[in-house]
Structure 1
Amino acid sequence: MICPDQARAAHPARDIDIILPDASPPSAARMLADLFRTTNEILGAPVYRVSVHRLAAQPCADPRRWTRRTVILLGDIRTRWSVTDPLRPLLRVLLAQAPRRVLVGGAVFLLSDAGLARGCALAIHPNFRAAAAEEGLEALPDAPLSGVAGPVASAVSGFAAVPLMLDLIAEDHGQVTANALRAYLGLPAPEAQSRSRLSLGLLQRARGDRLIDRSLALMQEHIEEPLRIGDLARMLGVSTRKLQRQFLELTGEGPLSVYRALRIERARQLLEQTNLPLVEIIAATGFGTHSNLARWVRKEHGVSPHALRQRAMSGRAA
């Protein structure tokens, strides 16, 4: 266990506010609160200060209170969470000022109550999808159980929020601590995500930057039908300008050239390691035409796709 004095010095305490609907008992927050309290035990220091309360019991609307807090609005999967007019100013302040906001279950509707739903994509429970669509709430692509879009994290239920909490803990105290917590609580290890050598190298160059990590993952998920960079930025909850700037500053390349390089890498893998017809490889990598694929393969590797395959078959692949 880490020395408590060392842990305090290395990790100043962070405030975690778990806020419940009026009808929910305090016990509803026990599971998530225990994650942070157990982290304190593992690190041997009170690195998290956890409070559980209702919105009405926290009337402080001073923005300075919320600028360093993690706010978890813990709704359930049966009831839409709405607030009355007197509480909306406070809700807007904490949703606008808290650097980390997590919306769970029916709490996704609080974004529309606060007038902050525009541009936020959310993990929405099936019970709420129809109502959410009517209110203009945008669902994350492919309906995941949890996800992060810009400054807002969301989960369809309290159980689905656990991986988000572990990600926050990893962000604060490192993946080793998060893994130790996972093992201590008997939680299964996450499945390793399949990554290409190119994307791993770029992520290492970017020092594990979270936005770059999520961008590369989305690019790899959409190799066959490449996204426009504007659409990619929207899915990530950031502006196109910020996405381009982050890539240039951390990898030295723009997102468009990185995306193209990932597709060329996939094309090379398919050419060298499979017998797929060229027309299928063109479709699988989103290049559209033989001439387009050939142009980029030749630019990257100095030979045509056919020559690249022949070289691999003869045992002379680079």
Structure 2
Amino acid sequence: MPSDKPRRFTFLLLDRFTMLPFTAAIEPLRLANRAAGRTLYGWRLVGPGQDHATCSNGARVVLDASIEVETPAERDDVVIVCGGTDIARTATRPVLNWLRKQARGGATMGGVCTGAWVLAEAGLLDGRKATIHWENHDGFAEAFPQVDLYRSVFVNDGNRLTAAGGTSSIDLMLHLIAEAHGDALATEVADQMLHTAIRTDQDRQRLSIPTRIGVRHPRLAAVIARMESNLEEPISPARLAADAGMSTRQLERLFRRYLNRSPKRYYMETRLARARNLLMQTEMPIIEIALASGFSSPSHFSKCYRAFYGSTPYRERGTGAAASA
């Protein structure tokens, strides 16, 4: 039976949090109250240290309280960590201690966008299922191997909730509304938001390969999917072609026709993109990043990286650190 007591959500807004996942999480709660004609949900906004939080687009949001002030959670509360850019920097000791305290009080703990990173840093996702924005997936997997990481839009693992970012917060909240108050209310909220396709925890974050590359060619999509699944140990073009039922020459023509590059070049660019994510999001040594991205040596990796990005991995990491200081 649904409870008559409003369920309270506490949104922890970290520095440079991403606005879209936050607003996509709080608006379904407001609309659920409106559609139901009564207060089903309440919320408050908290942050570390100041009376406002600044999001990644520069806008400021006024907070209800600071985490330095006692803000204890109740057992039915939900705490949502709203993350954004340079997320590792925001996982400070006061933030981690506050989150652990809320969890000990019995609150359901959640994260949207990169919020899962801070939950994992606090040890609150150990042995649990979770998701994070696809751009942070590789770095998260390397940093927190104890977390069962998924590429889905959102994950509901009991009292641990994570959504990948963007509009995925809408789908997570609609899921919670439907669980507590029925599908009809969740559908009415989705209709108000013009959210015409409600996604489930089985839906993946990224667009399909044909949509991403702008080409609907089943064999080309299949080859690219194999490339993306084998970045650490690249498969030769000859093997990719044979497994796709074509000759190496046919594979070359296919890539040239639709992507204006060779299979080898496309594979290299995909591996370099993964390396750059690891470089900017983790503290992994350069040699480990090189190996994780399919390069046999740091020197070869550095040469390829510089040719593509115009900077060496060492310099890029230094520039990123300076920019976030």
Greater Cα shift, 94-103 or 39-48? 94-103
Alpha-carbon distance change, 59 to 66 in structure 1, aligned in 2, over 3 angstroms: farther
Aligned length: 184
Q: Residue 6 of structure 2 corresponds to which residue in structure 1? A: 13
> Would the aligned equivalents of 1:21 and 1:81 in 2 still touch at CA under 8 Å?
no
Alpha-carbon distance change, 49 to 190 in structure 1, aligned in 2, over 3 angstroms: closer
Q: Residue 128 of structure 2 corresponds to which residue in structure 1? A: 120
Alpha-carbon distance change, 94 to 181 in structure 1, aligned in 2, over 3 angstroms: same
Q: Residue 58 of structure 1 corresponds to which residue in structure 2? A: 67
Q: What displacement does 1:23 show?
A: 2.9
> Would the aligned equivalents of 2:15 and 2:90 in 1 still touch at CA under 8 Å?
no
> Would the aligned equivalents of 1:15 and 1:69 in 2 still touch at CA under 8 Å?
yes
Residues 15-70 of structure 1: per-residue CA shift (max 9 Å, x gap): 1111111234878733322211111111111221122231441335575x332211
TM-score by length of 2: 0.49
Q: Does residue 1:39 correspond to 2:32, yes or no?
A: yes
**Paired AA for residue 183 in structure 1:** D
> Would the aligned equivalents of 1:121 and 1:139 in 2 still touch at CA under 8 Å?
yes
After TM superposition, list the pairs within 5 Å mapping 1:79-90 onto structure 2: 79-80=87-88, 82-90=90-98
Alpha-carbon distance change, 192 to 41 in structure 1, aligned in 2, over 3 angstroms: closer
Distance 2:200 2:9 in 1: 29
**Paired AA for residue 25 in structure 2:** L
Distance 1:145 1:83 in 2: 23
After TM superposition, list the pairs within 5 Å mapping 1:158-169 onto structure 2: 158-169=166-177
Q: Which has the higher contact order (CA 8 A, sep 6+)?
A: 2
Q: Residue 300 of structure 1 corresponds to which residue in structure 2? A: none
> Would the aligned equivalents of 1:145 and 1:160 in 2 still touch at CA under 8 Å?
yes
Q: CA RMSD, aligned part only?
A: 3.1
- Percent identity of equivalent pairs: 22
> Would the aligned equivalents of 2:20 and 2:166 in 1 still touch at CA under 8 Å?
no
Residues 53-98 of structure 1: per-residue CA shift (max 9 Å, x gap): 31441335575x3322111111126644632223332111123434
> Would the aligned equivalents of 2:21 and 2:168 in 1 still touch at CA under 8 Å?
no
**Paired AA for residue 94 in structure 2:** P
Distance 1:189 1:48 in 2: 23
Q: What SS class does the counterpart of residue 166 from structure 1 fall into?
A: helix
Q: What displacement does 1:189 show?
A: 4.0
Distance 2:25 2:77 in 1: 16
**Paired AA for residue 123 in structure 1:** T
Distance 2:185 2:194 in 1: 14
Choose 1 or 2 for highest CA Rg: 1
After TM superposition, list the pairs within 5 Å mapping 1:15-30 onto structure 2: 15-24=8-17, 29-30=22-23
Q: Residue 322 of structure 2 corresponds to which residue in structure 1? A: none
TM-score by length of 1: 0.50
Alpha-carbon distance change, 116 to 61 in structure 1, aligned in 2, over 3 angstroms: farther
> Would the aligned equivalents of 2:16 and 2:85 in 1 still touch at CA under 8 Å?
no
**Paired AA for residue 114 in structure 2:** G
Q: Residue 3 of structure 1 corresponds to which residue in structure 2? A: none
Distance 1:170 1:193 in 2: 13
Distance 1:119 1:25 in 2: 27
Q: Residue 162 of structure 2 corresponds to which residue in structure 1? A: 154
> Would the aligned equivalents of 2:9 and 2:80 in 1 still touch at CA under 8 Å?
yes
Alpha-carbon distance change, 19 to 86 in structure 1, aligned in 2, over 3 angstroms: closer
Q: Which runs of 5+ in 2 are unaligned?
A: 50-65, 203-325
> Would the aligned equivalents of 1:100 and 1:152 in 2 still touch at CA under 8 Å?
yes
Distance 1:190 1:99 in 2: 26
Alpha-carbon distance change, 176 to 81 in structure 1, aligned in 2, over 3 angstroms: farther
2:102 corresponds, among 86, 94, 97, to 94
Q: What displacement does 1:164 show?
A: 0.8
Distance 1:25 1:106 in 2: 9
Q: Which runs of 5+ in 1 are unaligned?
A: 1-8, 195-318
Residues 176-213 of structure 1: per-residue CA shift (max 9 Å, x gap): 1111111222111447999xxxxxxxxxxxxxxxxxxx
> Would the aligned equivalents of 1:77 and 1:125 in 2 still touch at CA under 8 Å?
no
Residues 76-131 of structure 1: per-residue CA shift (max 9 Å, x gap): 26644632223332111123434422211221121232123320121122322232
Greater Cα shift, 132-141 or 114-123? 132-141
Distance 2:167 2:34 in 1: 22
1:186 corresponds, among 190, 194, 200, to 194
Q: More helix per residue: 1 or 2?
A: 1
